[in-house]
Amino acid sequence: MTALVTGASGGLGAAVALALADAGHDVAVHYRGDEAGARDVAAAVAARGRRASTLQADLDVPLDTPQALDAACAGLLDRCADDLGTPDVVVLSAFPQHQQGWSDLDAAAWDGYHRAGLRPTAVLLRQATDRMGPGGAAVVVGSIEGLRAAPGHAAYAVAKAALHHLVAAAAHEVGPRGVRVVGVAPGLVDREGLEDAWPDGVARYRATASLGRPVTAAEVAGTVAFLASPVASGITGTTVTIDAGWSAAPGW
């Protein structure tokens, strides 16, 4: 089994790559600029007894050159196939995130999320699922902000909400071929230095979440690995929330 994970040189993408390796997948580790991070993740995959490949690709392509994005996505999938085999699991994790006030959201800000986030995710998803046979699965990483808006994150939240609908739309298109498309919507993901960088936000999250804490990257990654597995063969067209119960409570 072969998995391709985008944005896997660190953070959540890296955790997903390792969870898939633990589940028995060879893993293609995509990165845009952090080659050293990608190599570290690939080494960790190899240490688990699985094959690994690092694949550089910049999918942030100008909006006026759509053919270049088509070619970049096809090239990424071709290189994965050459190194490890055609991926039967693709996890679309790469996505930009910037905090911007509402009055600062000019056309360039909206274009940035479309160009670097939504459009490459949709194009790569379509190309990857077209290459999959029965049993193939794609997992799209959304966000709880795609379900409930957050102050200062309007453009990001709108783009993530579009990904959630993309999951449903794509699932209907590819389902007759036995291919699944599912999503995950992580809440606040704990990381080193998070509480120091955003003490008020973390405190509010702890006060609201049913479990009284953020989620971990390993918890999200484990859910992704489950959704990509044959055990979840009846799950498609939906987005699973992983937020320690934050969305079960009212308010931010």
Residues designated as active site: 156
How close are the terminal C-alpha atoms of the chain, in Å? 41
CA distance 72 to 107: 25
The pair of three-digit structure tokens given for residue 250, joined into one six-digit string: 């009212």
The residue type found at 31 is Y
Q: Looking at the DSSP assignment, which residues form a beta bridge with residue 92?
A: 140
The residue type found at 187 is G
Decide: residue 32, CB within 10 A, 0-12 exposed, 13-18 middle, 19+ buried: middle
Contact status, residue 182 vs residue 139, Cβ threshold 8 Å: yes
Edge-to-edge order in the sheet of strand 180-186:
52-56, 26-31, 2-5, 89-92, 137-141, 180-186, 239-242
Hey, how many other C-beta atoms are within 10 angstroms of the C-beta on 194?
15
Hey, how many other C-beta atoms are within 10 angstroms of the C-beta on 230?
8
